[in-house]
Every structure is written in structure tokens, then in C-alpha cells.
Amino acid sequence: MARFEVPDGWTVQAYRFALDPTPTQERAIRSHCGAARFAHNHMLALVKSVIGQRAAERSYGVSDDELTPALGWSLAALRKTWNARKGAVAPWWSQNSKEAYNSGLDGLARGLDAWSKSRAGKRAGAEVGFPRFKSKHRAVNSVRFTTGAIRVTPDRHHVVLPVLGTIHTHESTRKLARRAEAGAARILSATVKYEGGRWYCAFQVIVEGKQRSAHDAKPVYPIVGIDVGVKDLLVVAAPDGTEIERVVAPKPLTAAQTKLRVLQCKAARQQGRWEQRTETRLDPSKRWLRTQYRISKAHARVANIRRHELHTATTRLARNHDVIVVEDLNVAGMCRGGGTYKRGLNRAISDAALGRIRTLLGYKTTWNQTRLVTADRWFPSTQTCSRCQAKTKLALRDRVHHCRNGCPAIDRDTNAAINLARLGEPTNTGGVSGTGTGSSPAASVSAGDGRGAIRKTCLTDSVGKAGGVEASTSHHQRLVGQTGTVSSQGEAA
């Protein structure tokens, strides 16, 4: 459920800036992150103890009326219990902002709610486990502020946060400051997070939507389809068969594998936090900590390169086209299983971040007043010929689509992008034209399975459009038509 209402014509947007805190400010930020972690762990321990106590009392035959009172799991209930106990368990609580403790309790409330809904079958997706305690060595250092002084200063190089005060930024904040001064943006919250050896501040903002000017030039290709892949990150094509753009996958993780392998082998020779042979905890050496810092910096660089390429490509698409058609890929399922045989492909799929593309286009098309159409997960964009709509089964290694009807060969990614683009074409009845495959799942974002076309492609021997089982001719029927007889398994001659 939304915690605020977005006014009509406004959208939610985030602005993230790299911070440059002083040593004193950095210690204060780390104290706030530790306070959030302490509140989370303390209340989680209390929740688990109450659950265990009630289960033990039930095993002794105690009636439900006489059980230990249950502890509420909502944010308001957890916050009320924490306020009653903080004086005894955390006498230093006044040194940090109340928002620090609220951040930890909010994360716990969300985790408990997700676990209870997943257990009851009311939550989609993978099964969610019970919340776990956060370690200062493994947990992400972050704290969220929702009340108090949260703003960017007029000098464009400082942000103001409760208790922490004014913090210098590495980059200019003019993009957010100009909108805030014009009354076109309102800051809702600020999250300070440590990532890749640097502190960041992300502002959650509602901004007034931009309206396209009537004098803006109309796009040359208003409707496009996008096929995503591992070798070529994006292949963009128009319904008429024109390939508009091809973005090569940057593969930043592949480029950094040599450096990461050297650093990880170096860390394995140093004294870390865990001795595998004796299974004991140790105090890590300073050299091991420095090596871990270099590893985190390398991963941060990989993530930044990947993020930059995805944002650049998706922003260009959202601004230059009116309708964008993408696929609904099950990326998590594509990366699951396979073992050593499929390890390289799984890494390449994760390195390309295929599932992130649709997420970015989802809100960027809203910002630019364009439309995003999502094709059904089972729409055969790659197997369908973009010229005659006949289906041809292709293996993953087949990079060229050879139509079984004799159409000229075409790149499989371009062929898939053309089929997707045609799903975004409007018709006279207000719907969306299909590609002749019997499936029109992308008529709208919430479309169903069209006319119920089968999900699995069936190979046929007939010439023309593939119609599934109805257009197939079995080997038994062909034998009868050719010889007039049947085999010994037939019923009649």
C-alpha cells in the first residue's frame, strides 16, 4: 500500500548524489547505521522470543486466553514497543536521530509482513524466509530519513540531513535544486547508503511531469520493438523491417574477471574472518581488509558501467519513440540450474542485466508520455518468421533465422525485434495487430493469451503458417496417403 498519494500529472523519481563527508560526519553516519541495525536486531530477538514462548505454553496445554500476549508486527506496534524499551536497552539512543531507529524497525516490519504473506500464499514470487539478524560485517550500512530538515542547499554542492547537518557532495545537485526552487519537485525522504567504498544520498522525490511541446519533431519511427540478448544487449527494429539500432553488450564483469580473480586469490592467502580448517572465527588482518576493499571497488566499477549503459540506452529509446514493445523474460528462471555446463551462460545473462531493461523503460516511458507494451512471456518472437509468420524451431546457437518456407535468411535478433514491433501497431478497432501466429498477448499491458495459442512450438511439414497440432500431419497418415496401406499396427488396410 502506498505511503503517500502522487498528485495527478506528477511522478515519483529518485536523485542520487555521491557524498563527501568529513571524518566527524562519517562517524555520525556510521553511528546512525549502527543504531538502525541495533533496533532491528533487538526487536527481532523480542519477536522470536515471544513466538517461542507462546509455542512452549501451547505445548504445556495452556489455553489461548492465558498465553503470553502476542507482539504486533506492524511498524506502529514495533515502534511503540521500542520506545518503551529503548531507555533500558539503549541509553545512548538520544545521540542519533529517531529516524535511524525507525529505519531498522521499518525494515523488520516489511520483512515480517513479506514472510507472513508468503507463508499464507498471498505473495507472488519466490518463497520468503523469516527475517534474520544483521551483522555489522555483512549488512549494508544505510539509514533513511523521512522527517526533519531534508533539502539541497542553493549553492548546489551540499545536502542537509537531520542531526547530520550539511554535507558536501562530490557532484552538483542543480538538477534537483532547480526543480525544487521552481515548485516542481517535493522531497519525500532521503536514504544514505555506503556502496563501493563511497557514501551516497538518494532523495525520493515527486516531480511534476514534463509535457511535450507541440513544436517537437515527431519521431521517425514511432513504434519499435526491442529484443534483448547477451551478445547484443538491445536490437531495435521498426514494424516495416528496418533495424534502427543495435547496442553491443558492454560485459563489464567479463572484462573485470582477471582482476577479480587475482584479488580473490590474494585474499584467500591472507587471514580473514573465518578459518575453514578449524572452523573458528578470527580477527581479520589489515591486509585482508584492504584486499576486500579493492574487491568491493572492482565490483562497484562493474555495476557503474552496467548501470551507465542501461540508463543511456533506455533514456534514448523513451525519448525518441512513442510506443516501445518489450518481452516479459523470466530472467531468474534463465539463470537457474545448469551446473558447470551452464555456468558461463548464467554469468553472461546476469552480467547483461536483462531484467533491468524493462524496469527502466517502465518509469522512463511514463516520464516522457510514451507507451510501453509488454509482450506475453510465451510469445514466439524469435521462432516466428517476420515475412510469412511461419514458425521454425531454433536452437540457442542458431544466430540466423532460416525460414522453412524459403524466405531470405535474417538475423534472429532483428527478426524477433520486428515481430515485437508489430505487436504495437494500432488497428482500426482500437486494438493491436498481431503477427499471424494466433497469439496477441501484447494488445495491452494487461492482455491475456490471445485466442489461446499453444505455448510450445510444434514443428509441421505443411507449407504456410504454423497452426499448431491442427496443421500437422502424422507419420501414420502420410503413410496411408502414399501407399494405401498401413503398418501392422494399423486398424485397416
Report the run of H or E that residue 186 belongs to, with start and end. Answer: strand 185-195
Averaged pLDDT for residues 298-306:
94
Torsion, Cα of 92, 94, 98, 101 (10° steps) = 0
Taking the C-alpha atoms of residue 425 and residue 437, their distance in angstroms, rounded to an integer, is 15
Averaged pLDDT for residues 409-438:
69
SS3 196: coil
Strand ranges, E, within 287-394:
323-327, 371-375
The pLDDT, as a whole number, for residue 463 is: 35
Report the run of H or E that residue 181 belongs to, with start and end. Answer: helix 174-181
pLDDT digit string, tens, across residues 174-189: 999 999 999 999 999 9
Catalytic residue positions, numbered: 227, 327, 413
Three-state SS for 256-313 is CHHHHHHHHHHHHCCCCCEECCCCEECCCCHHHHHHHHHHHHHHHHHHHHHHHHHHHH
The pLDDT, as a whole number, for residue 95 is: 93
**Residue 165 confidence (pLDDT) above 90:** yes
The pLDDT, as a whole number, for residue 212 is: 67
The pLDDT, as a whole number, for residue 451 is: 34
- Do 357 and 225 touch, CB atoms closer than 8 A? no
Burial of 90 (0-12, 13-18, 19+ CB in 10 A): middle
Lowest-pLDDT choice from 23-37, 358-372, 419-433: 419-433
Lowest-pLDDT choice from 116-125, 298-307, 429-438: 429-438
Region of residue 430 (left: phi > 0; alpha: psi -120 to 50; beta: else): left
In percent, the amount of the chain with pLDDT more than 90 equals: 57
pLDDT digit string, tens, across residues 69-110: 999 999 999 999 999 999 999 999 999 999 999 999 999 999
- Do 453 and 464 touch, CB atoms closer than 8 A? no
pLDDT digit string, tens, across residues 19-49: 999 999 999 999 999 999 999 999 999 999 9
Smallest CA-to-CA distance from 159 within 25, 254, 46 is with 25
Report DSSP state, residue 19: B
232 Cβ neighbours under 8 A, 6+ residues apart: 246, 247, 248, 249, 413
**Residue 256 confidence (pLDDT) above 80:** yes
pLDDT digit string, tens, across residues 430-478: 333 443 333 333 333 333 333 333 344 444 333 333 333 333 334 344 3
The pLDDT, as a whole number, for residue 9 is: 80
Report DSSP state, residue 169: B
| CA-to-CA separations, 456 to 338, 379, 392, 436, in angstroms, rounded | 21, 10, 12, 16
Pairing of strands 185-195, 198-208: antiparallel
Question: Which three cell numbers, joined as nine digits, stand for 172?
Answer: 552538483
Task: Identify the residue with better confidence: 314 or 392.
Answer: 314
The pLDDT, as a whole number, for residue 197 is: 86
- Residue length, the chain? 493
Averaged pLDDT for residues 48-59:
93
Averaged pLDDT for residues 127-143:
92
Q: At what angle do helices 75-89 and 23-59 cross, to 10 degrees?
A: 110
For the residues of 81-133, what is the DSSP string, one character each? HHHHHHHHH-TTGGGS-HHHHHHHHHHHHHHHHHHHHHHTT-S-SSPPPPP-P
The pLDDT, as a whole number, for residue 457 is: 43
SS3 191: strand
Pairing of strands 410-411, 274-275: unpaired
**What is the pTM assigned to this prediction?**
0.76
Pairing of strands 243-248, 371-375: unpaired
pLDDT band at 214 (very low <50, low <70, confident <90, very high): low
The pLDDT, as a whole number, for residue 431 is: 37
Torsion, Cα of 313, 315, 318, 319 (10° steps) = -110
Cα 394–Cα 399–Cα 402 angle in degrees, nearest 5:
60
SS3 329: coil
Report the run of H or E that residue 208 belongs to, with start and end. Answer: strand 198-208
Question: Which three cell numbers, joined as nine digits, stand for 122?
Answer: 498471498
SS3 7: coil
**Residue 268 confidence (pLDDT) above 90:** yes
**Residue 10 confidence (pLDDT) above 90:** no
